[in-house]
Amino acid sequence: LDKLIAIIQALGWQKAAWVALLVCGTISMAIGFKWWELRDGGASVAESLGGKRVLTNTDSARERQLLNVVEEMALAAGVPVPPVFLMPSEPGIHAFAAGLSLKDAVLGGSQGGGDYLKREQLQGVVAHEFSHILNGDMRLNVKIIAVLHGIVMIGESGLTLFRLSSRRSYGGSYRSSRRRDNKGLGGIVLLGVALIVIGWLGQFFGSLIKAGVSRQREFLADASAVQFTRNPEGIGGALRLIGGHTQRSSVQHAKAHEM
């Protein structure tokens, strides 16, 4: 705390206040934009990960089995049957529930899950996801997505400033004009580096919070999966299979970290 106060005093309280307002304003705008982007609920999350909705008239036996299992677990959980999305380019065994409420909730799964899971294991995984729907984990996760996006936006802004200043330092027609701009470019570079550091630190601690919240929720979802299926070997067998699977539960999409 003493070091922080010393830094603020060195900058000057007025400058420190402006910097704080700038950072908080950037975060708030980015969070608001991401929240607006996810206003449609789970479908927007599933589509951003490359998910394609599984239609009820599908000709694929695996997809029909997935739809049947989702209907069974929805009945067991006592909730409406949500739309189902499949990520066809994901070889790992993965599933997720997304949405802001029961009305816009969706259930997503990877191609690897459909290819490698037996029916009782698929029931366990789907039941696990229905626990996330019932316990409000979906809405919590969407909030975390929005907040982390705001924090990451600071780092992205820093990278943009750094790249622009680097390009400008090598551009121009006259060496004298470059010299005159050196001081200004130096300030932009320092600002960019500072924003990158702030964004990285925020993302790091945000990830710790996300992991801490998710771990306890996952334990509860595993227990709920046993309750819904009346079969401990469903989710248990799926977890053992994931543990030994080459691709495990990883998602390779570019937005996997964000989501």
Token digits of residue 183: 């001081």
Residue type at position 164: L
pTM of the model: 0.74
Amino acid 127: pLDDT: 96
Strands of 106-110's sheet, edge to edge?
A: 52-53, 84-87, 106-110, 95-98
Amino acid 4: pLDDT: 75
255 and 48 in contact (C-beta within 8 Å)?
A: yes
Distance CA(26)–CA(153), nearest Å, equals: 8
Reply yes or no on whether 129 is catalytic. yes
Amino acid 162: pLDDT: 75
Beta strands in the chain (DSSP E): 52-53, 84-87, 95-98, 106-110
Report in angstroms the alpha-carbon separations of 69 from 153, 224, 233.
39, 16, 16
With a cut of 60, say whether residue 174 has pLDDT above it.
no
Going by pLDDT thresholds of 50, 70 and 90, the confidence category of residue 177 is low
Picking from 62, 76, 56, 125, the residue whose alpha carbon sits closest to that of residue 230 is 76
Mean per-residue pLDDT of the chain: 84
Token digits of residue 135: 């316990």
Amino acid 173: pLDDT: 46
Strands 84-87, 106-110: pairing is parallel
15-24, 28-37, 122-131: which is most confident: 122-131
Q: Which of 47, 63, 129, 258 is catalytic?
A: 129
* Cα-based torsion angle of the residue sequence 233, 140, 49, 210 in order, rounded to the nearest 10 degrees: -80
Q: Which residue has the higher pLDDT, 4 or 47?
A: 47
With a cut of 90, say whether residue 12 has pLDDT above it.
no
Amino acid 215: pLDDT: 79
Percent of the chain with pLDDT over 90: 40
With a cut of 60, say whether residue 176 has pLDDT above it.
no
